[in-house]
């Protein structure tokens, strides 16, 4: 994949239109290609806003954000959406899947808006479906991948792994996981993180893992505390 850093943030500041203090102020943040970073922050610390900024769905900030070599400020809305579709795989805490699609279809959905990822998947495994099946197999979901069963019948742990497969399909250079383990018990939590890290290593993707739970940090190359990054004495606004 590209040699450019997965994320490179410089002098970022963001404030809500009518707020008097900025919510975020980050002088410097870099996530190198292939690196895994644990970003810890309490709720209300601006985590979600930071992720929305990186994913290109939130605009109106100062400073610069580069994602996979692309300067977000220079891109149009449409180009930012395309960048997200092509380069970023996202996993959330919950509601990751469309309940009316099968698990396999949910994984394939990850390529729906990106021709680039479809081609990548086809190059690596022959077809998008083949890669989806491989990923599901590697994540220990071979048993549900063949079925047309409703995604809603899966356990939460299984659902999160399907979501991880969807984020990974088509080999995006950046995976962002936002509290993906908060709904899991501790056994499943550790297993999920290990699986996610293994898959990211295998595909060479950088991983930005965001959580409030500092105990998880041990799994990662690097750990950052959002509260420390952000300039002191700011008041977080829930979002």
Partner 1 sequence: MLIGLAWRSLLNRKSSALLCVLTIAISVTLLAGVEKIRHDMRDGFFNTVSGTDLIVGARSGQVELLLYSVFHLGSATNNIRWSSYQTIAKDQSVDWAVPLSLGDSHRGFRVVGTSSAFFDRYRYGSERQLGFSAGEGFSALHQVTLGADVASSLGYRLGDEIVVSHGLGNVSFAQHKDQPFKVVGILEPTGTPVDRSLFVSLESITAIHVGWRAGVPMPGMKVSEQQLEEMDLTPKEITAVMLGLKSKTAVFQLQRAINNFRGEPLLAILPGVALQELWKVVGRAEQAMLAISACVVLAGLTGMLGVLLTGMEQRRRELALLRAIGASPHHLLFLVMLEAGLLTISGIALGLGVLWSVLFFAGDKLQQLLGVYLTLGWPASLGWISLAVLVAGLLAGTLPAWRAWRYTLADGLTPKN
- Contact footprint for partner 1 (CB under 8 A): 48, 51-52, 55, 57-58, 77-78, 81-82, 84-86, 90, 92, 95-101, 109-110, 112-114, 166, 178, 239
SS3 content of the chain, % helix, strand, coil (to 5): 45, 20, 35
The minimum distance between CB 81 and partner 1, in angstroms, equals 4
Which residues contact residue 27 at a Cβ distance below 8 angstroms, ignoring those fewer than 6 apart? 10, 11, 12, 229
Residues 115-150 as b or e (16 or more Cβ within 10 Å = b): eebbebbbeebeebbebbbbbbebbebeebbeeeee
Distance CA 117, CA 167 (A): 11
Q: Of 22 and 110, which CB lies nearer to partner 1 in the complex structure?
A: 110
CB of 93 to partner 1, least distance (A): 9
- Residue (87 or 189) nearer to partner 1, CB: 87
CA dist., res. 8 & res. 70, Å (int): 10
Nearest approach, Cβ of residue 217 and partner 1 (Å): 23
Shortest Cβ 122–partner 1 spacing (Å): 16
Q: How far is the CB of 46 from partner 1 (least distance, A)?
A: 13
Q: Are 6 and 174 in contact (CB under 8 A)?
A: yes
Identity of the residue, 85 or 229, whose beta carbon is nearer to partner 1 in the bound complex:
85
Which residues are registered as beta bridge partners of 207? Answer: 36, 175
User: For residues 91 and 200, which CB has a smaller minimum distance to partner 1 in the complex?
Assistant: 91
Smallest gap from residue 105 Cβ to partner 1 (A): 8
Provide, rounded to whole angstroms, the least separation between the CB of residue 233 and partner 1: 26
Q: Which is nearer to partner 1, 27 or 53 (CB)?
A: 53
The order of strands in the sheet holding 206-211 is 88-91, 174-178, 206-211, 36-40, 222-225
| Cα 40-24-232 angle, rounded to 5 deg | 80
Half-sphere exposure of 41 (CA within 13 A, CB side): 24
Distance CA 206, CA 226 (A): 18
Which residue, 18 or 78, is less far from partner 1 as judged by CB? Answer: 78
Residue 182 vs 190, nearer CB to partner 1: 182
């Amino acid at each position: 994949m590209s040699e450019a850093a997965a994320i490179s943030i410089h002098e970022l500041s963001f404030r809500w239109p009518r707020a008097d203090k900025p919510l975020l102020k980050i002088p410097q943040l870099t996530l190198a290609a292939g690196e895994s970073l644990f970003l810890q922050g309490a709720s209300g610390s601006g985590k979600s806003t930071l992720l929305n900024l990186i994913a290109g769905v939130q605009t109106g900030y100062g400073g610069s954000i580069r994602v996979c070599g692309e300067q977000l400020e220079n891109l149009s809305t449409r180009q930012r959406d395309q960048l997200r579709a092509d380069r970023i795989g996202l996993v959330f805490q919950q509601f990751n899947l469309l309940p009316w699609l099968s698990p396999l279809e949910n994984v394939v959905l990850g390529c729906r808006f990106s021709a680039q990822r479809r081609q990548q998947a086809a190059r690596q495994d022959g077809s998008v479906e083949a890669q989806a099946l491989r990923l599901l197999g590697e994540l220990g979901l071979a048993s549900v991948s063949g079925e047309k069963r409703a995604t809603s019948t899966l356990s939460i742990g299984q659902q999160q792994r399907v979501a991880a497969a969807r984020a990974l399909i088509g080999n995006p250079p950046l995976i962002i996981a936002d509290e993906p383990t908060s709904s899991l018990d501790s056994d499943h939590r550790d297993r999920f993180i290990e699986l996610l890290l293994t898959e990211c290593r295998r595909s060479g993707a950088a991983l930005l893992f965001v959580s409030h739970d500092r105990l998880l940090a041990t799994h990662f190359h690097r750990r950052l505390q959002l509260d420390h990054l952000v300039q002191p004495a700011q008041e977080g606004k829930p979002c």
